Every structure is written in structure tokens, then in C-alpha cells.
Structure 1
Amino acid sequence: MAKVKLGQGIAGLFVIGILIVFVVGLKVQGDTVGVGDKAYDFVLEGYDNTSYQLSDFQGQTVILNFFSTWCQPCESQVPDMLALSKEYADDVLVFTIVKTESKRAVERFIDRTGYEDKLYLFDFDLSVSERYGITGQPETVIIDKEGVIADHIIGSVTKEYIVEHITALQ
């Protein structure tokens, strides 16, 4: 009898868990922007203590690279993102959006790796990540010159991969 009640309890918790995931998924899905949508405009604080508003960069291709300092795939793609930012500075703006971490965490990351970039932006409360449907890291969103989301890439990317995508937008 106790085994049956335990099994029913576990099954009940499982069903409740599935319902929670479904309800949260519906909430996030309703507020998110995706490929083909106008990019969600935001203001985030940068590593350099400047506020950056996405709409200020309309007319440029913008790369939003969602990132965490502890994420190994994120770290491995930083050199490519920095190279892309330098090589295509006239045409493309690359923002590295740091999810929920402090400036001190980014300082430690820079000290450890040497990957300094003034365009680290802080999404302390995940509000921007949620609007773009970011569920992990790294994830990259490409926004065209008209402010429309052209691509959303889940996982690591290389400079060459991004260049291929942005060249198609020119």
C-alpha cells in the first residue's frame, strides 16, 4: 500500500512539473521575439559604465552574443567575436551580453583570459535574455540594419560563420 501511494505521489509531482514547464513556456513564448521580428529595444549598462540602447544603433548590423564567464564554449568563441568586432568595426557592432553576472566576475574573466572588450553589457535580471528567448549560452542573435532579427544561433559560433551570415544581409 505504501509503495502504491509513493508511486502515485511521484506521478503527481511529475504531472505538476510538466504543467509548470508548460505554463512558463507559454509565458516566455508570448513575450519573446524571434527571427523575422523587429528586435526588442533595450537599455543595458556596459562594462565601461555607459548605458547602451539598441535602437541607437539602427542602420548597423548588430550581433548580440549571450554569454556567461563560467561557460567554456562561451570563452572559446570570445577571440572570434573580438576579431569580428575589430575587422568589421565599420559595418557590425558586437555586444557581448553577460547573463546575471557581476562586473567583478567579468573583471576576473578578463584577468584570467585577457579578453577585454568595452562592449560587455550586463543583463543582471535576464529581462533581455528572456525577451530574445535565450535559454542557454552561448547564443547569438543577428539583427540587420533595419532592426529585424535575421538569425538566432544556439551554441558556439565562429567568426567565419557570422561573416557568412552578415555578408548575406549586405
Structure 2
Amino acid sequence: MTQFRRMAAVLTLAFALTVIGACSGNGAETAATEDFPHMGVAEMNTLLADSQGKPAIVVFWTTWCPACKQQLPELEKLLAERGDDISILTVSLDEKREALEKFYAGKKPALPTYWGDGELARAYEVQAIPKLVAFDRDGKVVFSRPGAFPLGMLRKLADQIAGN
């Protein structure tokens, strides 16, 4: 019976240490994961399925890309104008999530911002950045082009995909 009690004590201690370790994990890492959730193919499909009936604009970008940095304020303006009609989100393709943390330096992004992976980039044929992909109300890709787009063009695209 003594050996059984020792085994139970060891297992209980191991479980307690695991729970304590999980609860006291790196808070910065947890915050970054919440601020910049992972976006893979499955997550994108789920997001599009959950927003049926609402068109979406997705921009793939990186923090080191000058044209991408120019595109973000235009998207923020469009979100302020049309956020009720269309979903607008960005997917960073930076190799490490830390690049997003450094780019935003503790500020909350004005746009929903995700951290994407290579599989997602391949699925949407991202070969140059920024790349804008627009989805209609049914989640079907209706526009997919690289480049930074001025607000006027983004408005016209928003009108087209929203059916205005």
C-alpha cells in the first residue's frame, strides 16, 4: 500500500505542477496570441462560413513592407465608413508573431489583425504583398490582386461586393 501512496503522491504533485505552470505561463505570449490570433486555412474557412451574408476584404501583408504600411490607414478609413456592411481584416505573413508585437508596440490595431501561415498564403496564391482578396456574401473570391489600393478604389470594391 505504501508504494501505491507514493505513486499517487507523485502523480498528484506532477498534476499540480502542470496546472501551476499553465496558469503562470508567459503573460506576454498569451496576450500576443489573443491580440494576433493564428489564421490558417481552416480558420479562414470558419471565419468566412460564420460571416455568411456579409462580404469581406482580407489583406495579406508584413510589417517590413512599405506598401503594406501605406495600405493599412486606407483600410482603417474604409472600416470606419463601411464596417457595418463588410468585414475587413488583415493577415500578417511575418515569420514570427513577435514582429506584429513590435510593429504595434503595445497599441491595439484598428483593424482585426491575424498572424497567418505559409499554408494560408499558398491557398490564396500570395506571391507579392500586400495582396487584397475580396469575398462576396457567399464567401466566394471575387477579387484577388497584389498591390496597395487607394481609398477611392477600396470604396468602389466595397460597393461592388456589398451589392450597392
CA RMSD of aligned residues (A): 2.3
Aligned to 2:139: 147
Q: Distance in 2 between the 1:154 and 1:91 partners?
A: 23
Question: What is aligned with 1:47?
Answer: 35
Measured against aligned partners, the alpha-carbon deviations of 1:102-142 in whole angstroms (never above 9, x if no partner) come to 33211211239x68235111113x11111111111001001
Match of 1:56 in 2: 50
Change (3 A) 1:50 1:66: closer
| Runs of 4 or more above 6 Å deviation | none
* Unaligned ranges ≥5, structure 2: 1-32
Separation in 2, partners of 1:160, 1:115: 26
- Which stretches in structure 1 are left out of the alignment for 5+ residues? 1-44
In the other structure, the counterpart of 1:120 is: 113
Percentage identity across paired residues of the two chains: 22
C-alpha distance in 2, partners of 1:115/1:160?
A: 26
- Which is richer in strand? 1
- CA distance 1:100–1:151, change in 2 (3 Å): same
Q: In structure 2, what is the Cα distance between the partners aligned to 1:137 and 1:162?
A: 16
Distance in 1 separating the partners of 2:38 and 2:115:
11
Inter-CA distance 154–118: structure 2 relative to 1 (3 Å threshold): closer
How many residues are paired up?
124
> For the residues of structure 2 that align with 1:49 and 1:141, how far apart are their CA atoms?
19
Residue in 1 aligned with 2:86?
A: 92
| Residue 46 to residue 147, structure 1, CA distance change in 2 (3 Å) | farther
Contact 1:85 1:94 (C-alpha < 8 Å) held by counterparts? yes
Equivalent residue, structure 1, for 2:150: 158
Amino acid corresponding to residue 35 of structure 2 in structure 1: Y
Aligned equivalents of 2:34, 2:96: Cα separation in 1 = 11
Structure (1 or 2) with the greater helix fraction: 2
TM-score, reference length from structure 1: 0.65
Partner Cα separation in structure 2 for residue 69 and residue 122 of structure 1: 11
How many Å separate the matches in 1 of 2:148 and 2:75? 11
